[in-house]
Structure 1
Amino acid sequence: MKKRIVRLFLLLLLGALIVPALPAQAAGLPAPSQLGEQGLHVRLLQEALHQQGFLSIQPDGHFGALTLRAVEQAQRAHQLPVSGQADEDTLAALFARVLYQHQDTKKQSIELSGLDGLTPRESGPGDKGTAVLWLQQALIRHHYLNLPASGVFDSGTHQALVQFQTDQGLAASGRADRDTLPRLMTRPEEAGPLTLMPAWYAGAEDLIPMGATFEIKDVRTGIRFTCARMMGVSHLDAEPVTPYDTQQMNRVYGGTWSWDRRPILLRYQNQVYAASMNGMPHGYVANRQNGMPGHFCVHFSYSRGDGSQRVDTEHLNAAFEASFANWDDEVGTAL
C-alpha cells in the first residue's frame, strides 16, 4: 500500500511537471513575483537577471523599480509579453537551463519511479512557453539551432526542426509531434556532462554516498581537487583526499582558509552538479593524512545549516552561479 501511495505521488508530481506547462515552483525555480514583493524568491530572480546582464545592481531580495525594468528588458529579449511581472513564462525563459535539467535528470528520477518517456507537450509555429523552450534547447544541443532559446516557435525553430526530422527519416511536418520529441529529447552522445542543480531534499542528499570520492572544480578559478564525503544530513560534509588536494583547495581561497561561499561544480560518476562550499576547516576529522584540520561543508540547492536548519542565501546564490558553468569551461587560473 505504501509503495502504491509513493508511486501515485510521483505520478502526480511528474504530471505537474509536464502538462500543460511546467510551473516554476514545480521545476525547483523561484515563485512568480511582482513589484513590491520581497524575499528569497525575488533574490533568486535578481540573481538570474544579474547573471544575464539585465540587472546592474546587486541582488537584495526587493522587487523595486530597477528590478521591474530588468524584467521588462528580459521579456523583450525573449519575445514575451512585457508585463514587468516575473510570471511563469518569464521565469522559464530566465531559467531555461534549469528547466532543461529536469529533462536530462529523468534517468535518475525515473529509476526510482519506474516511469519513463518524459517529454514536453507538442508544439508548432506560433506557440510559445516552456514546451518551446525545451524544444529549442534540444535543437541547440543537437546542433540544429544556432539561436538562443527564446520560448517562441519562430521561423528559425521551424527550419531547424524540419531539418532534424528530415535527417531522422521522420515526416518533415515542422511540428514537435509525438514521433519527433522522443528522438529529439535523447541527449547527443558527444555532449559532455550537463551541469545539473538538484535540490538537497529532492534527492541530492543521496547522489553521493557516504565515503565516496568525487572531484570539485572551483568555478571562478578553475582549480580542481578530489574529496570524499564524510557525513552530512542537512548538507554534505567533505574532506580533501590527499595533502595535495588540501593545498589545491587552499589555493582557491588565496592561501587563507575562509567561511566565504564559493560556486563549485562536483563531478561524480561522470555527472556534474552545481553546488557551493565554504573554505573553513572545522569540526571532526576522518582523514588525518590530508593535512586539513577539520572538514568543510558543501551545500546543494536548498540544503540547510546544521544548527539553524535554514537555507543559507549565500550558498544558494553560489549554487545558482555554478549552474551556469560547465566542467570543461576554460578559466584563467591554471589547474
Structure 2
Amino acid sequence: MTTEVEIGAKGPETKKYLEPQRYINNEEPRNQTSVSKFTLLGMTEDPELQPLIFSLFLIIYLVTILENALIVLAVCFNSHLHTPMYFFLLTLSFNDICLSTTTIPKMLMNIQTKDQSISYKGCLNQIFFVMTFAPFENFILAIMAYDRYVAICHPLRYTVITNSYFCSLMILLSLFISMVTALPHSLMILHLSFCTNLEIPQFFCELILVLKLACSSTLINNILIYLVAFIFAGVPLSGIVFSYTRIVSSVLKMSSASGKYKAFSTCGSHLSVVSLFYGASIGLYLSSSFTHSPKKTVVVSVMYLVFPQLMNPFIYSLRNRDIKVSLRKVLGRILSL
C-alpha cells in the first residue's frame, strides 16, 4: 500500500510518495537471532497414538541395547573370538548402541513428558553425534569387507596384513575422520539466523530439516552436506563393491564346492548388514530429495537410524555358530549371578 503526503500550505500542491509500508501481521516469518529451542513434531501428532509409539520404541531401544551389549560381551569374554573379524563386529555393535542412544531416548522423553521441545544446544549435539556415528558405520562396514577380502583372497598373508596395530589404526582413523567432518556441520549452524517457525517434522534434529528453518543463506551448508555424503557414502561403498568383486572372482576359481560354500557363508552376514544399511540410506536420500511428505521421511529415517541397529546383532548371531556358543556362555554367567 502506498501513502501520499501533501507538502506545504501555500503554493502549488506537491506530493511525495513514500516507500510501501509493511505491516508486521502480513510479513513473512521474521529472523530470530537467538534461538533457545526447537520443536520436534515426532512420529505423529495424534495423542491417541503416542502411548503405542512410546511402548513400541521403548521395546525396540531396549532390545537394541541388549542385543548389541551381548555381542560386545560375547567377543570380549571369549578368547577364541579375539580375531580381526570379531573385533570389527564388536566395534559395529558399540557404534550401533551409540547411534540409537543419540536419538531414541530424547523422543521417548518428549512423549512421556508431553513436551516436544529440544534445546538449541541439544539439537546441535544430536546433529554432531548422528553425523559422527552414521558415517563411522559406513567405514566399519567397508573395513569389514576388506577384512573378508584379505581372508579369502590372501589367506596366507591374513594374519600379517590384519594385525592388531592395523585394525586399531583403521578404527581410530575412521572415528577421527568422522568426528572432524561432523564438527563443521554443527559449528556452521551457529552462524545461521532462524525464522520464527522452529518446528522440525522429525523425531530428532535432522541436519537437512534444521537448515530448512534458516532465514539466512545455507548454500555453503548444503554444499558441505553433498560433499560429505559423497565421501562417506561413495568411498566406503566403492571399497565394499571392489572387495566383493574380488571375493566372488576368487571363490568362482575354487574347485571345491565345500570351499565355495564356506567362503560365501563367512560373507553372508556382512552382505545382509550392508544391504540393510545402504538400502535404508538410499531410501532416506531419495525420500528427502523427491518427496515432500513429512510422514514418509520419518518412516524412512526410522529404517535408517533404528531398524539396522536392531537387526545387525540378530543377523550375525543367527548365521554365526561361534557367536551363538559365546552368547550361551555369557547368558549362562549372567543368569548364574
Greater RCO (Cα-Cα under 8 Å, separation 6 or more): 2
Structure number with higher helix proportion? 2
Structure number with higher strand proportion? 1
Structure ID, larger Rg: 2
TM-score by length of 1: 0.29
